Structure 1
């Protein structure tokens, strides 16, 4: 415990200079953005701690939603939230080329920090594997989604573009200027 407090003090009060170098300016800007993202994630983790990543923390929160003992419209709303918080894990699974519904059901059967690691395609303790999210980021995302949902529900009129489904290119989506 003392070691952890010492490390926390170093992270919270320390000053560091991080030099970012790259072969091109574009590459440097991308690396700089990644370093800044990591810095913000680290600060958020120091503030509120970490939770298992990969959408597992949200899946574990589903049990709490079911235990609220709601009825009527409130119960319907809670069921919508319970379904919606599966979306991050479903999308991560789809991005990895795996069926999201199967992964979600398997993760629901797991306990604690156990989840699906898309990088290794295995079920494991995500905290031990280093797959973590800052609790603040997960909480803020859920709060912001609830806020926007509430706004949409009380809005009388909404105008939006109809999304166009575009087939995935086979890795070659440009012509060769008349060349064969």
Structure 2
């Protein structure tokens, strides 16, 4: 309930976007107009791929092929996306699948900030995942 209330407040503050990763994917063509070379061009290519990932993972989690759906949405008109619950395509806003602009914007800003920090410090601190202990083998019957 608290998350829904917070999302509603964010939507009232800054507006809404088509949800399901569609808004991020729709911004990708703008990056084609950016004139950069070398490392900056690599950064733009990485960002373009990153903008596809939310939709790709929604589709994968729905048991479908992410790359196929991403390609179809890219070729569709803006605002058209994949409804993972119904398994069809359509206008995301008309279907009620929306995201608050503020949440999408701050998520992208924070991800960019973290990526910049990793690149400039050339290191990253993280937890080492613990290895799961092997389960005890079944006991033979006597």
**TM-score normalised according to structure 2 size:** 0.87
Q: 2:91 aligns with which of 125, 131, 136?
A: 125
Please report the RMSD computed on the Cα atoms of aligned residues, expressed in angstroms: 2.2
Mapping 1:1-180, distance limit 5 Å: 35-161=1-127
Comparing 66-75 with 90-99, greater Cα deviation is found at 66-75
Q: Which runs of 5+ in 1 are unaligned?
A: 1-34, 167-177
The alignment partner of 1:83 has SS state of helix
Q: 1:63 to 1:163 in 2, by over 3 A?
A: farther
C-alpha deviation, 1:119, in angstroms: 1.0
Q: Residue 14 of structure 1 aligns with which residue? A: none
* Distance in 2 between residues matched to 1:157 and 1:133, nearest whole Å: 33
Asked which structure has the greater RCO (Cα within 8 Å, sep 6+), the reply is 2
Q: Which runs of 5+ in 2 are unaligned?
A: 133-138
* Distance in 2 between residues matched to 1:123 and 1:75, nearest whole Å: 32
* Distance in 1 between residues matched to 2:130 and 2:78, nearest whole Å: 39
The alignment partner of 1:157 has SS state of coil
C-alpha deviation, 1:163, in angstroms: 5.9
**After the TM superposition, which segments of 4 or more aligned residues of structure 1 sit over 4 Å from their partners?**
161-166
* Distance in 2 between residues matched to 1:107 and 1:86, nearest whole Å: 10
Q: 1:37 to 1:65 in 2, by over 3 A?
A: same
The alignment partner of 2:10 has SS state of helix
* Rg comparison, structure with higher value: 1
